Amino acid sequence: MRALSKSKLMAFRQCPRRLWLEVHHPELRADSAATEASFSAGHQVGDIARRLYDPKGKGVLLDPQTEGFDVALARTQELLQSHQPIFEATLRADGALALADVMLPVRRAGKPGWRMIEVKSSTSVKDYHRDDVVVQSFVAHRAGVALAGIALAHIDSTWVYPGNEEYQGLLREEDLTGEACARGTEVRAWIADARQVLSGKRAPVVSAGRQCGTPYECGFLGYCRSQEPQAEQPIDWLPGRLGKGLQAHIEAHGVSELRDVPDELLNERQQRVKAVTLAGSLFFDQAGAAAALSAHRLPGYFLDFETIQFPVPIWKGTRPYQQIPFQFSVHRLSRTGKLAQQAFLDLSGADPSRRFAEALLAACGERGPIFVYNAGFETARIRELAERFPRLAKPLLALNERVVDLLPVAREHYYHPNQRGSWSIKAVLPALCPDLRYGDLQGVQDGGMAMEAYLEALAPQTSATRKAEIERQLLAYCALDTYAMVRLWSAFTGTTLSV
Ligand code: SF4
């Protein structure tokens, strides 16, 4: 039987059914854009790690996918006799296969050995990383590697990129030698149990649940859900955290329908979602919504940002995974009801931050409420810009003083059964303003697509024609976001727009 790779053992640790499907029906897997993005982040961080751990470029990078596993295994054994860094060292022992991100030759107490480092694109060490390292360590030990230490290197999210391709300090190491060496027997049990699962003729029966998104989003979720009876009005639509009593009730009684959840186990908002869903009719406390917004007089600004983040920063003065705004749209509604829009979008490839901050200040004027949807996001970006550009800090922070969040107003006073437990603007809009449809937009239709489009526009191989098309799509998408807010505000306040 073929050796089980570390990723297969990790799949087994997440869910035995996932392992079985990955081996017997890989064609059923459909990874989300978020999963693809995390693979891409892993590759970017891996590339930088090789530069950091081998600044003189003396190491050897193996590529078992291209050269074949048997060749990579044999080359690893040869390289282990040398004294140069090895990347993707390929090791097999006791029915398991592992690729080591980084192997560095060291001397401990006069003896040659190897320091093994697993590189992760996350910003901390998670429990499943520890399992990952335990498997690496087990295979390396059993393959006869003289391990002198095992560490996990992850991104230091507080590090600031100084520019000039200088990435020293991006990664922070945590030594896991003791733990990794002490848990070898667990790995033996995982291998035996995983083999048992794989020998079955059918996939183990496991209901979709929390394990489907923890620690990784499982690409078989669509398939698994399609095999299960679908709840008509699932309890997944309940917003917020489920109380302990409710969780215990769900587990004890196998509850999947909202109608079967006792009211006394729900908080006020959850009770409303349940009641509205079962009744199939709208809840709209328009008077309450209008009262909540009555203190904020026109002229009003309706603001939305689009941002990009890089695990490995590309612009000086920015941190890993920092959300960097590259686009905004502002709709301004005057006292007389005149509506005008301004937009900013930088597709130059240079750090857009300063130009963004200056354009934002110019577009938002000096007084009047600034309506946003989910204010924490925009206000945090404005605070970060203020930190980066101290000379603009005062007027930028003054913008935050004017921010009014429409999301809590929607949460408190509006719910349509079609929202299915969500108050995202895209969930609220269809019932309130059915003429505004994100689905009608060409290309970019959500924030994730905006990020992808931005990266595509920056790529050197993107043609000028395509870049112009992306620009149009991004501008149309962000403008719809802010116009949608104008319409929400109009419905909440009971104001008729003259446009
Ligand atoms: S979707 Fe959930 S139940 Fe299905 S294989 Fe993945 S983790 Fe298991």
In a domain, 276, yes or no: no
Long-range contacts of 314-319 (CB under 8 A, 24+ apart): 314/161, 315/161, 315/350, 315/351, 315/353, 316/161, 316/162, 316/163, 316/164, 316/351, 317/160, 317/161, 317/163, 317/351, 317/388, 318/160, 318/161, 318/351, 318/353, 319/157, 319/158, 319/159, 319/160, 319/161
Out of 21, 25, 210, 218, mutate this one to test ligand 1's pocket (max ligand atoms within 8 Å of CB): namely 218
Question: Which is more confidently placed, 325 or 111?
Answer: 325
Domain that holds residue 80: 4-198
Same domain? 293 vs 180: no
Name the H helices within 402-446.
Answer: 407-413, 425-432
Q: Looking at ligand 1, which atom is closest to the CA of residue 221?
A: 1
Which residue minimizes the CA distance to atom 2 of ligand 1? 212
Task: List the CATH number of the domain containing 187.
Answer: 3.90.320
Residue 369 and residue 304 share a domain: yes
Residue 338 covered by a domain: yes
Quick check: is 310 in a domain?
A: yes
Residue 241 lies in a domain: yes
Q: How far is the CA of 265 from the centre of ligand 1 (A)?
A: 28
- CA nearest ligand 1 atom 3, residue: 208
Clarify whether residues 401 and 486 are in a common domain. yes
Q: How far is the CA of 62 from the centre of ligand 1 (A)?
A: 32
CA of 221 to the centre of ligand 1 (A): 6
Instruction: Report d(CA 446, CA 443) in Å as an integer.
Output: 9
Q: Whose CA is nearest to atom 1 of ligand 1?
A: 221
Q: What is the CATH number of the domain that holds 376?
A: 3.30.420.10
* Residue where a domain stops, chosen among 213, 238, 267: 267
**Cα 16 to averaged position of ligand 1 atoms, centre (Å):** 8
Shared domain check, 130 and 255: no
Pocket of ligand 1 (CB under 6 A): 14-15, 17-18, 21, 206, 208, 211-212, 218, 220-221, 224
The whole-number pLDDT of residue 184 equals 85
Residues 256 and 386 in one domain: no
Query: What total of structural domains would you count in the chain?
Result: 3
Answer yes or no: is 26 within a domain. Answer: yes
pLDDT in tens, 409-448: 999 999 999 999 999 999 999 888 999 988 889 999 999 9
pLDDT band at 499 (very low <50, low <70, confident <90, very high): low
431 in a structural domain: yes
- To the question of pTM greater than 0.85 for the whole model, the response is yes
277 part of a folded domain:
no
**pLDDT at site 431:** 85
Average per-residue pLDDT in the chain? 94
The atom number, within ligand 1, closest to the CA of 224 reads 4
In terms of domains, do 260 and 325 share one? Answer: no
Residues 239 and 387 in one domain: no
The residue whose CA is least distant from atom 4 of ligand 1 is: 224
Please check whether residues 125 and 249 belong to one and the same domain.
no
- Residue 395, in any domain of the structure: yes
